[in-house]
Amino acid sequence: MTNRQNWLPRAKSILIRSSVLAGLVLTPATALASQQDPAGTSQESDVLFERIEQMEAELAQLRERLEQAEAQAAQAQATAEARPPVVTVPPMSEPSRGLWRPSVSDVAVQFGGYADVSAAISDSASNGDVSFSAGSFNPLLLVQYRDLLLFEGEAELEIGSNGETELALEYTQLDIFLHDNATLVVGKFLSPVGQFQERLHPSWINRLADAPAGFGHDGVQPASEVGVQLRGGVPLGSSRLTYAAAIGNGPRLNGAGAVMAEGFGGDDNGNKAISGRIGFLPTPYMEVGASALFSRVNGPSGEEPVDDHASTNARTIQSVTGDAELGDLSAYAVDYNLWGVDAAYTRGPWDVRFEYLRGVRDAISVPGHDGDDPEEALERLRMTAWYGQVAYRLTGLTDDPVLGNFEPVIRYGEFNVSGLEELAEEAAEQRWDVGLNYWFAPSVVLHTALQYREFTDRHSDEVTDDLRLLFKVSYGF
Amino acid sequence: MNKSTAAIGGFALLFGVGTALAQSGGGDPEDNGAAIARGAQAWADSCGACHNVRSPSEYGDVSWDVAVAHMRVRANIPGNVARDIVAFLQSSNDPAPAPVARPVSQLSTAPAATVAAPSAVQAVDIGNGSRIYAQTCVACHGADGTGALPGTPDFTDSDGALAKSDEELIRNMSEGFQSPGSAIPMPAHGGNHELDEQDMADTLAYLRSEFGSR
């Protein structure tokens, strides 16, 4: 088709040039023939007429070929128009799930989070029925500006046992990427102490339906902090060192003298808490870490604490009420320090974890009457929590697509308390969990677990143990 | 006061140490193929440390940008490693690459799936296949071929994946494949679209020589 298209203008050009040449030749030849002697020029005229006849024949041939070419060109064009167009589909680069950002924009926004619903059957429930729970809904908003800033904000919505919807801000932080190995975090962030609260507590990541004893909200493990944090990871050959160090407002004491390590929006004593964790990964599937928290806390003010974080998980540290005879001890500040270690092994189908935390709040003493020796208003509080957990995905044993989605898991943990009788009665326990997970997708799981709790510091006339069957469906998105 | 001063000093020290220890490690940013290969390994290593790895197809390119930035902070992933992971995920969430355009005279009426038949390749290079396996495949399939991620097929099983025909395996490698029991599908070309038909054939030859029973 390309050759035919090129031939057409060439034929036209030949035709035009031939016509001009014929005109130039015919005009002077005719004039000469009329002016010169007919006898002397008759032979030349014959030659000229012969040449003119040849040119007229060539002109006719050219006209014919031109008509043929035009017909072929029209036919080729009709054929081309009848053929389906060739469409080049570029690689799909912008699907669009949960996301809004033009590809050329500096700002990217993503919505994510997780949600769960659960049910529990307890042998100590007053009515013995199944207790359903809407669980929690944790929407997460991420807004990134180039490779410089990232805003993270996560809320937690829960329906409490009293039917009221509770809203809490899990964290709201601005991450500033200083360089590949350092990120500055400001705002309210999850405490870097330990591994469970910061990285494992979302219900679709946690291998069991609830947090280990003494971990998560209202445990010895700090939940969050308000302040500034520097963190990052540094490659060491094939290994990696991770670090996180934070300065924040620190924990407070409730009315009974128990420690509340939620992120408070103000500092009640002017002493900033320092916390952090160092982690080492000798291989990508093995990690050991050490954490610490150093802080000072004011004594209880004598006011009744407000239980603003009701939980379905039995009674909590914040619900421990104080002794009215304590009086106002807020003028007395003491140290509250915590340290811990953790380890993880996550190769192939295995998920093995261990974590230990120990927190100590110093005793609070007040001056004695009339110059007597100081009296101990609150004795030293010691809290220890630890757990060991093993989960194994059955894909390590079978290629069956259904059986491979099952994951047996077992966990044992303890939360021990000394120095605060009320807290020990409420929260000290030993807990066994034997569970079986079914993974519908990498972030969709059904947790089932049989849980036995023995409350180690309760009186014999109280509920001293509890056997529960737990179900929870979690979806991370 | 003293504690605050110490804390600020500690921050400065940590920042200084972090800066001093900062390693480029990311290689030539223009070398996207190498970044994808590194990212495949880093993706399996970093994400699987806390939770199941998600399929690259769960998010689009920009979503992965943001999600990995989030995980860079949460899991203390170095920035260069995070960028490699993004390169792999953004490469892997694409559909199978379109067939290469050919001259009119060579166009075939066969469906696209048969274009990748090994008949188009030259003699296989097992050494090249070994290198590709170590760079791109090992993240999920493991160095011993038994599978590093839950549900990944065991190449050493005589009745397993390598019992399939060459044509079927090449097609699976070229177009991506969801193994029964695997939580996530294998992306087309293992997520590295810079690999061509010859690379696929070389890799298959390596698999058969290293793990296969025939």
Assess if residue B153 is contained within a domain: yes
Does B82 share its domain with B127?
no
Stronger pLDDT, A323 or A155, i.e. the higher one: A155
Q: What is the CATH number of the domain that holds B151?
A: 1.10.760.10
Does A303 share its domain with A422?
yes
Assess if residue B33 is contained within a domain: yes
Domain that holds residue A386: 113-137+186-476
What confidence score (pLDDT) does residue A44 get? 78
Which residues of chain B have a CB within 8 Å of the CB of A147? 69, 79
Of the listed ranges A67-81, B84-98, B129-143, the least confidently predicted one is A67-81
Does B117 share its domain with B192?
yes
What confidence score (pLDDT) does residue B44 get? 85
Q: How far is B211 from chain A (nearest CA, A)?
A: 17
Q: What is the 3-state secondary structure (H, E, C) of chain A?
A: CHHHHHHHHHHHHHHHHHHHHHHHHHHHHHHHHHHCCHHHHHHHHHHHHHHHHHHHHHHHHHHHHHHHHHHHHHHHHHHHHHCCCCCCCCCCCCCCCCEECCCCCCEEEEEEEEEEEEEEEECCCCCCCEEEEEEEEEEEEEEEECCCEEEEEEEEEEECCCCCEEEEEEEEEEEEEEECCEEEEEEEEECCCCCHHHHHCCCCCCCCCCCCCCCCCCCCCCCEEEEEEEEEEEEECCEEEEEEEEEECCCEECCCCCEECCCCCCCCCCCCEEEEEEEEEEECCEEEEEEEEEEEEECCCCCCCCCCCCCCCCCCHHHCCCCHHHCCCCCCEEEEEEEEEEEEECCCCEEEEEEEEEEEECCEEECCHHHCCCEEEECCEEEEEEEEEEEECHHHCCCCCCHHHEEEEEEEEEEEEECCHHHHHHHCEEEEEEEEEEEEECCEEEEEEEEEEEECCCCCCCCCEEEEEEEEEEEEC
Does B116 share its domain with B90?
no
Of A98, A232, A346, the CB nearest to B76: A232
What confidence score (pLDDT) does residue A105 get? 82
Does A295 share its domain with A352?
yes
Say yes or no to pLDDT of A202 above 90.
yes
Does A69 share its domain with A203?
no
Does A120 share its domain with A243?
yes
Final residue in a domain of this structure, among B63, B94, B125? B94
pLDDT tens digits along B151-160: 788 898 888 8
**How many independent structural domains does chain A possess?**
2
Token readout for B147 is 């599978």
> Mean of the per-residue pLDDT values for chain B?
77
Does A17 share its domain with A118?
no
What confidence score (pLDDT) does residue B100 get? 43
Asked if A109 lies within 8 A of B157 by C-beta distance, the reply is no
Helix or strand or coil: residue B82?
A: helix
Stronger pLDDT, A99 or A477, i.e. the higher one: A477
Say yes or no to pLDDT of B16 above 70.
no
Stronger pLDDT, A338 or B96, i.e. the higher one: A338
Assess if residue B4 is contained within a domain: no
Give the mean model confidence (pLDDT) for residues A181-203: 96
pLDDT grade, residue B111 (50/70/90)? Answer: very low
Q: Which of A35-49, A62-76, A430-444 shows the highest mean pLDDT?
A: A430-444
Does A122 share its domain with A71?
no
Which residues of chain A have a CB within 8 Å of the CB of B58? 97
Assess if residue B72 is contained within a domain: yes
Assess if residue A196 is contained within a domain: yes
What confidence score (pLDDT) does residue A1 get? 43
Final residue in a domain of this structure, among B59, B94, B129? B94
Assess if residue A391 is contained within a domain: yes
Q: How far is B32 from chain A (nearest CA, A)?
A: 16
Does A355 share its domain with A449?
yes
Does A329 share its domain with A204?
yes
Helix or strand or coil: residue B52?
A: coil
Helix or strand or coil: residue B34?
A: helix
What confidence score (pLDDT) does residue B194 get? 81
Assess if residue A422 is contained within a domain: yes
> Mean of the per-residue pLDDT values for chain A?
83
pLDDT tens digits along A348-405: 889 999 999 999 999 998 887 777 788 888 999 999 999 999 999 998 888 788 998 9
Of B54, B78, B181, the CB nearest to A399: B181
Which residues of chain B have a CB within 8 Å of the CB of A347? 148
Give the mean model confidence (pLDDT) for residues B45-56: 89
What confidence score (pLDDT) does residue B157 get? 86
Domain that holds residue B145: 112-210
What confidence score (pLDDT) does residue A325 get? 59
Assess if residue B122 is contained within a domain: yes
Asked if B73 lies within 8 A of A150 by C-beta distance, the reply is yes
**How many independent structural domains does chain B possess?**
2
Asked if B45 lies within 8 A of A271 by C-beta distance, the reply is no
Say yes or no to pLDDT of A97 above 50.
no
Asked if A180 lies within 8 A of B22 by C-beta distance, the reply is yes
Looking at chain B, which residue has its C-alpha nearest residue A404? B181
Of the listed ranges A84-98, A324-338, B26-40, B73-87, the least confidently predicted one is A84-98
What confidence score (pLDDT) does residue A14 get? 57
Q: What is the CATH number of the domain that holds A413?
A: 2.40.160
Does B157 share its domain with B123?
yes
Does B119 share its domain with B175?
yes
Does B130 share its domain with B172?
yes
pLDDT grade, residue A206 (50/70/90)? Answer: very high
Assess if residue B185 is contained within a domain: yes
Predicted model pTM? 0.73
Asked if B15 lies within 8 A of A439 by C-beta distance, the reply is no
Assess if residue B15 is contained within a domain: no
Does A308 share its domain with A358?
yes
Say yes or no to pLDDT of A96 above 60.
no
Give the mean model confidence (pLDDT) for residues A209-229: 91
Asked if A346 lies within 8 A of B48 by C-beta distance, the reply is yes
Q: How far is B77 from chain A (nearest CA, A)?
A: 5
Does B123 share its domain with B200?
yes
Measure the CA–CA gap between B205 and B209, rounded to whole angstroms.
6
Measure the CA–CA gap between B161 and B140, rounded to whole angstroms.
14
| The one-letter amino acid at B128 | N
Does B74 share its domain with B126?
no
Which residues of chain A have a CB within 8 Å of the CB of B55? 442
Assess if residue B3 is contained within a domain: no
Asked if B78 lies within 8 A of A181 by C-beta distance, the reply is yes
Asked if B48 lies within 8 A of A142 by C-beta distance, the reply is no
Of the listed ranges A26-35, A415-424, B14-23, the least confidently predicted one is A26-35
Would you call A419 exposed, middle or buried from its count of C-beta atoms within 10 A (0-12, 13-18, 19+)?
middle
